[in-house]
Amino acid sequence: MSSWIDMTFVLVVVINLVLLASSRLGAAIRAVALQGALLSLLALLLASPAHDLGHVLLVAGGALAIKAVFIPWLMFRAIREAAIRREVEPLIGYVPSLLLGGAGVALAFAFSRGLPLPTPEMHTFLVPTALSTVWTGLLLVVSRKKAVTQVLGFLVLENGVFVFGLLLTDVMPVMVEAGVLLDLLAAVFVMGIVMFHINREFSSLDTDVLASLKD
Amino acid sequence: MVPFLLLLLLGLAAAAFSWPDNRSRPWLLLVGAAAHSAGMAELWLHPEPPLFGGYLFLDAPGKVVLATVSALFLATAVYSQGYLRHRHDKDNRVFVSGLLGLLAAMTVVGLAQHLGVLWVAIELTTLSTAPLIYFNRNARSLEAAWKYLLVSSLGIALALLGTFFVALSGAGPDGPRSLLLSSLLQAGPGLSKPWVRAAFVFLLVGYGTKMGLAPLHSWKPDAYGEAPGILGALLAGAVTNVAFLALVRVFQVTRAAGEGGFACDALVGLGLLSMALAAVFMAGQRDFKRMLAYSSVEHMGILAVGLGLGGGAVAGAFYHVVNNGLAKGVLFLAAGNIHRGYGSKRVEDVRGAARRLPVSGPLFLAGFLAVTGTPPFSPFWSEFVILNGALGSGRWAVGGLFLLFLAVVFVGMGATVLKVVQGDDRGAPERTGFRDSWLTAGPPLALLLAVLALGLWLPSPLASLFRSAAALVGGGS
């Protein structure tokens, strides 16, 4: 059981690194969808008998439906309508991004050692995985130029926050967790609409063309 | 009362979305604003017990912020009657319903006594304003909306992580295991200190992005520059103040956990950095709406310094919330009028605004004097109280830098404002059809009179409200 959990955490981190190195948008969206599915699996694996079963199923099912199915579908529609395939010339190249991502994982492990968990029964990989996923998301948002990749970065960041939230399934009221999923949905939805407008206005989804406002 | 008000606002937002007529739709804004003001007055006079098991309650800091929001929203609702009539060619369906949704979200932030509810409401303020920045439907406003949405969403995601850290800090076997403000404050030193410290860092970055503290302000000049004046006024005078309230809540918890000293240093540092950066970018600014964005960065810095200094300065910070909110209303609405009157917001095109727009031009100048802390306007007094707090507690360096940045901002902003207002409008772009009218010049004038009145005479219930708000975050005179 425990080795399965280890494996899932490692896969989440591996997907982070894959995302940092991938230039094909379709593959990147599939990787984010797979990460969403893994998170839903984690929600099930980490549940202890003490947890309310309905609540655990709600979180896992919600993550699967939204993170692994609905949002990837929305993103695929976006790249099909905008007819784009690849990220071109990221601001930070693929190899440096990978190195930064790897450094992030190391730092996340070091950082989480300094933060003792008040609930010691939790898995030791959880906090480092969450923090390195958040770091990967931030890195993707600032270092990529396509609007689609920036949204993917935001999704990865939210995935990291979600992993951390799993620590709190018994402390947090349902309302806040529902809020997490709903807000993510709403944010991506609004971003999607804006992306369509960007595409129509400039016939491109490069945020490079969005550079007329500066001091 | 509170649930009724929130339902009414959401109902009005839905009604605005399905309202068929573009010309009569802005009336719904007026209905929402009047209902909100009436509701706030009622809550003020007859306080209600905590609602929904203590999740919503109006305490002193909430009162300060929500009263400002209410007054500013009322003024902008009146203004929008004239403004949206002038711009009847643009579809205002999303704009009107988004503003009503924003008002509901800000009300929840003001009342929230639970860090999770607070976070959800702050997120809703972002989602309801992002589409409104795209009101003008052109490439520049689209760019501004995209940046605003992306940067704010990142901030809000980090704030959620910070909120989880707070939850975890109290998740031990004898911790409060709740995000209710009252139980967190009660648990105080029992919270896990390393986690509270990490939480404060993430929440400061998250809500600091929403406030627009430097260096997290990158969305501000674009959004304020491209959004209509109404939205600029509400973003700079209401949304940022609401985000400041969120930071106040976080600070309350951090202080109760015994990590106040570290939090104070971080606040004073970021506050002074914001003021310095605003002073640098304010000078030689060629777009007068973007200039106002840097003024907003500066004033968020002042609020952070006031909160971080502690002692008497905290009451000054709450006083400044009101003053900055009202003064920003004057500036953005007057700037919106000047923009419409010339069809340009570039400083090299616009001159002689005092002649072309005999009310809005002088109002822009008066608003500048007010916001930079010239007596007898009220921001002078609140900035004075904060400065006094710095010098009184022997922090000469902080006080000196505070004064220096205020002076540099005054000079830099003054040069731009005078270029716009003074002189002859020959050679400036053709007159557009826009003239000063009661509906467009009246609301900023009313706000300016309020700023002046508060500077001449501060009613004692208000003064004691600022003191009791400050007492909750460890400020006492």
Q: Which residue of B has its CA nearest to A208?
A: B143
Q: What is the DSSP letter of B58?
A: -
* Chain-chain contact of A179 with B171 (C-beta, under 8 angstroms): no
| Minimum-distance CB partner of B116 among A137, A175, A190 | A175
A interface with B, Cβ–Cβ < 8 A, is 114-119, 134, 137-138, 141, 147, 150, 154, 157-158, 160-161, 164-165, 167-168, 171-173, 175-176, 179-180, 183, 186-187, 190-191, 193-194, 197-198, 201-202, 207, 210-213, 215
How far apart (Å, rounded) are the C-alpha atoms in residues B173 and A119?
A: 8
Distance from CA of A27 to the nearest CA of B (A): 23
Residue type, B317: A
Distance from CA of B125 to the nearest CA of A (A): 12
* Chain-chain contact of A158 with B157 (C-beta, under 8 angstroms): yes
Q: What is the mean pLDDT of residues A61-69?
A: 85
Closest CA relative to residue B64, chosen from B388, B476, B454, B387: B454
* Chain-chain contact of A117 with B169 (C-beta, under 8 angstroms): no
Q: How many CB atoms lie within 10 A of CB A89?
A: 11
The pTM score is 0.93
pLDDT computed for residue A173 by the predictor: 53
| Minimum-distance CB partner of B120 among A114, A157, A183 | A183
Question: For residue A176, is pLDDT > 60?
Answer: no
Per the structure, the complete domain to which residue B270 belongs is given by 264-477
Token duo for residue B390: 């710095």
Is position B114 within any domain? no
Q: Which residue of B has its CA nearest to A212?
A: B140
Burial of A214 (C-beta count, 10 Å sphere; 0-12/13-18/19+): exposed
* Chain-chain contact of A164 with B164 (C-beta, under 8 angstroms): yes
Find out whether B342 and B429 touch, Cβ atoms under 8 Å.
yes
Is position B17 within any domain? no
* Chain-chain contact of B178 with A161 (C-beta, under 8 angstroms): no
Distance from CA of A210 to the nearest CA of B (A): 5
- Give contacts of A161 with chain B, Cβ < 8 Å: 157, 160-161, 164
| Minimum-distance CB partner of B171 among A114, A158, A171 | A171
Residues 6+ apart with CB under 8 A from B45: none
* Chain-chain contact of A179 with B120 (C-beta, under 8 angstroms): yes
Q: Digits of tens for pLDDT over chain B (477 positions)?
A: 888 999 999 999 999 999 888 888 999 999 999 999 999 999 988 888 888 888 999 999 999 999 999 999 999 999 999 888 888 888 888 899 999 999 999 999 999 999 988 998 998 898 889 889 988 888 788 888 888 988 898 898 899 889 988 988 887 777 788 888 888 888 888 888 888 999 999 999 999 999 999 888 989 999 999 999 899 999 999 999 999 999 999 999 999 998 888 999 999 999 999 999 999 998 878 899 999 999 999 999 999 999 999 888 999 999 999 999 999 999 999 999 999 988 888 888 888 888 889 999 999 999 999 999 998 899 999 999 999 999 988 899 999 999 999 999 999 999 999 999 988 877 778 788 788 888 899 999 999 999 999 999 999 999 999 999 999 987 664
Distance from CA of A152 to the nearest CA of B (A): 11
Residue type, B180: L
pLDDT computed for residue B349 by the predictor: 87
Residues in chain A, total: 215
How far apart (Å, rounded) are the C-alpha atoms in residues B124 and A205?
A: 26
- Give contacts of B169 with chain A, Cβ < 8 Å: 118
Residue B295 CA to its chain's centroid (Å): 12
| Minimum-distance CB partner of A167 among B168, B178, B222 | B168
* Chain-chain contact of A198 with B130 (C-beta, under 8 angstroms): no
- Give contacts of B178 with chain A, Cβ < 8 Å: 171
* Long-range Cβ pairs for the range A68-72 (8 Å, 24+): A68/A33, A68/A34, A68/A36, A68/A37, A68/A40, A69/A33, A70/A185, A71/A32, A71/A33, A71/A36, A71/A155, A71/A184, A71/A185, A71/A188, A72/A29, A72/A30, A72/A32, A72/A33, A72/A36
Angle, vertex CA A52, rays to CA A50 and CA A58, nearest 5: 140
Is position B105 within any domain? no
Residue type, B351: R
How far apart (Å, rounded) are the C-alpha atoms in residues B37 and B41?
A: 6
Question: For residue A90, is pLDDT > 90?
Answer: no
Distance from CA of B164 to the nearest CA of A (A): 6
Q: Which residue of A has its CA nearest to B152?
A: A187
Find out whether B448 and B361 touch, Cβ atoms under 8 Å.
no
pLDDT computed for residue A190 by the predictor: 61
Distance from CA of A148 to the nearest CA of B (A): 12
pLDDT computed for residue B239 by the predictor: 95
- Give contacts of A172 with chain B, Cβ < 8 Å: 116, 167, 179
Q: What are the distances in angstroms from CA B113 to CA A87, B110, B240? A: 44, 9, 19
* Chain-chain contact of B149 with A194 (C-beta, under 8 angstroms): yes
Is position B390 within any domain? yes
Is position B85 within any domain? no
| Minimum-distance CB partner of B146 among A134, A165, A210 | A210
Is position B299 within any domain? yes
Mutation target for A interface from B52, B146, B148, B347: give the one with most A CBs within 10 A: B146
Q: What is the mean pLDDT of residues A82-99?
A: 77
- Domain count of chain B? 1
Mutation target for B interface from A119, A175, A183: give the one with most B CBs within 10 A: A183
* Chain-chain contact of B143 with A194 (C-beta, under 8 angstroms): no
Find out whether B229 and B333 touch, Cβ atoms under 8 Å.
yes
How far apart (Å, rounded) are the C-alpha atoms in residues B170 and B165?
A: 9
Token duo for residue B69: 């929001």
Confidence at A59, pLDDT banded by 50, 70, 90: confident
| Minimum-distance CB partner of A161 among B157, B172, B192 | B157
* Chain-chain contact of A190 with B149 (C-beta, under 8 angstroms): yes
What three-state secondary structure class fits B112?
strand
Q: Which residue of A has its CA nearest to B134?
A: A194
* Chain-chain contact of B168 with A168 (C-beta, under 8 angstroms): yes
Across the A:B interface, residue pairs with CB atoms under 8 Å apart total: 124
| Minimum-distance CB partner of B164 among A168, A175, A211 | A168
Q: Which residue of A has its CA nearest to B226?
A: A213
Is position B444 within any domain? yes
- Give contacts of A137 with chain B, Cβ < 8 Å: 157
Is position B398 within any domain? yes
Distance from CA of A140 to the nearest CA of B (A): 12
Highest mean pLDDT among A107-121, A196-210, B143-157, B251-265: B251-265
pLDDT computed for residue A3 by the predictor: 83
pLDDT computed for residue B403 by the predictor: 94
* Chain-chain contact of A161 with B160 (C-beta, under 8 angstroms): yes
Angle, vertex CA B4, rays to CA B184 and CA B107, nearest 5: 50
- Give contacts of B284 with chain A, Cβ < 8 Å: none
Token duo for residue B66: 């929500």
Give percent of chain A above pLDDT 90: 20
